[in-house]
Chain A
Amino acid sequence: MPHLVLDSLSADYGRDPVLSDVGLSVERGEIVSIIGPSGSGKSTLLRVLVGLLRPRAGTVAVAGTPVDYGSDAALRKVRERFAIVFQQYNLFQNMTALRNVTVAPTVVKGRPAGEVEAEARALLAKVGLSHRVEAYPDELSGGQQQRVAIARALALKPDILLLDEVTSALDPELVSEVLDTIRLLAADGMTMLIVSHEMAFVREISSKVVFMADGRVVETGPPAQIFDAPQTERCADFVRRILRH
């Protein structure tokens, strides 16, 4: 049974529909990437999954159990399953790297500070930042901030990690350090849903690629299909334009 199943999911911002009838399934430990032109609803889909935007119709199920986006209490449960890393990192500017990672486990989950801090230090070491734990976000490079953000998301021990264009805001020379971190998580068997414009990386790391346009899933398939033999005209067109440079 797939770990995460989306079925005819729809959402809108006010009157504008931004997601229509999205269906998708992800196995445990699988890495699925979502590609598509800007404004196609990729990031919105991740915002819906993590409960920042409530779906209008459709269902989401994790491990066979439907996810309830109805109440605030239900949303809190949703966020114990999903963690998200944002394009702009969104680190808390008033906290050190370490505090960014420990704040939710201690304050929200009420876990003992000592235990959480040891875990946080281990996580920061894992993303290669054991020497920068006391630094504030504005003292870190974009790539370092993004790695702290990944550590912060992992500290809540999510089932599924959502990565929303995590390298798009970075200077080119900083992209690879973040991608390396994601590879590390892949090796650990983390289930991930990735929105990315790094096509070579998507091709290398994903077992499945979803092409979206205008809020709909246009084509789904293994990377080889999407990039080398797309079945739909729109996907072929998009891939041709992306791969030209």
Chain B
Amino acid sequence: MAALLDELPRFFSYYNVIFLAQAFAYTAGLSLVGCGLGFVAGFGLAVLRQERVMRFAPVRILALLYVELFRRIPFLVLLMVVFFGFQLAGADVPMFVVAATTVALSAAAFSAENVRAGLEAVHRNQWDAAETLNMGGLRALRLVVLPQAWRIIIPPSMTYAVGLVKATSIASQIGVAELTFAAKILNQKGFSPALCFGTILVLYFVLCWSLNRFAAHLEVRLAPSRSR
């Protein structure tokens, strides 16, 4: 313990603090870009799974297949598939793109489930009424169903995003400069593992805990006041 305290000033040197701050920003950025893209894609998948919107059954089945496949592949394995996929396709892309693509592919599958649950929480009779008024699937979705569903969709999506922030630690395996990778580098430079990994545990905690608090806050704020 005393040894750790001795090490502290050296560990929190100006250079190391900047290094960790950058890694923190990298983790946050990777999560934001990956989850953002993934949510948009997942939203599309969920909509394509709605029979009222997509009348063509094979497309609905493909969307379902994507969701069921990709939420069953571990993040690390998906990361490897994406990594080697880019490499063998001859696409020389930055590692950030590889990591963000993996986050997005995974987020798409899970977001699709959240969005679907939200859409299905809106009573079927709202679709019926829209249909008898000749609205058509997409219009009913936009004017009637989504305005009622988004408050049900957002909180669990935020909670899931926290899960992905944590999963980005696995991206350290391909050497992107996020928090976990930064800790490994500092560890290799001779700082004690307790300090390196302990510090980033705290940083992850700050990020995830704030996000979770925000999600809980939203859940209360958005609790449907105007629904039966």
Contacts and interface: CB of A to CB of B under 8 A. Distances in A.
B189 interface: no
A50 B132 contact: yes
Contacts of A51: 131-132
B125 to A, nearest CB: 4
Given A108-B139, A138-B226, A93 B126 contact: yes
A107 B132 contact: no
A91 interface: yes
A82 B131 CA distance: 12
Given A93-B228, A138-B227, A152 B134 contact: no
A104 interface: yes
B134 to A, nearest CB: 5
B143 interface: yes
Interface residues of A, number: 27
A65 interface: no
Nearest to A82: B132
Given A92-B144, A93-B226, A138-B227, A104 B126 contact: no
Contact of B133 (A72, A79, A88): A79
A60 to B, nearest CB: 15
A156 B131 CA distance: 13
A80 interface: yes
Interface residues of B, number: 21
A92 B126 contact: yes
A104 B132 CA distance: 10
Contacts of B126: 90, 92-93
Contacts of A52: 128, 131-132
B181 to A, nearest CB: 45
B228 A138 contact: yes
Query: Interface on chain B toward A: helix, strand, loop, or mixed SS?
Result: helix
A136 B226 contact: yes
A49 to B, nearest CB: 10
A156 B130 CA distance: 13
Nearest to A149: B129
A83 B132 contact: yes
A94 B147 contact: yes
A69 interface: no
Contact of B144 (A76, A94, A156): A94
Contacts of A92: 126, 129-130, 143-144
A211 interface: no
A84 interface: yes
B148 interface: yes
A69 to B, nearest CB: 13
B228 A103 contact: no
A227 interface: no
Given A80-B134, A107-B135, A108-B134, A90 B226 contact: no
B22 to A, nearest CB: 44
A91 B133 CA distance: 11
Nearest to B140: A92
Contacts of B132: 50-52, 79, 82-84
A56 B97 CA distance: 53
Interface string B110-149: 0000000000000001101111111110010001100110
Interface in A84-116: 84, 86, 88, 90-95, 103-104, 107-108
Contacts of A80: 134
A76 B129 contact: no
B6 to A, nearest CB: 62
14 contacts: A51-B131, A79-B134, A82-B132, A92-B129, A92-B130, A92-B143, A93-B126, A93-B148, A103-B143, A104-B134, A107-B139, A107-B143, A108-B136, A137-B226
Given A93-B226, A94-B144, A137-B226, 5 more contacts: A83-B132, A103-B133, A107-B139, A108-B134, A108-B135
Interface of A: 50-52, 72, 76, 79-80, 82-84, 86, 88, 90-95, 103-104, 107-108, 136-138, 152, 156
User: Which 9 residue pairs spanning A and B have beta carbons closest together?
Assistant: A90-B129, A104-B133, A94-B147, A90-B125, A79-B134, A108-B134, A92-B144, A50-B132, A138-B226
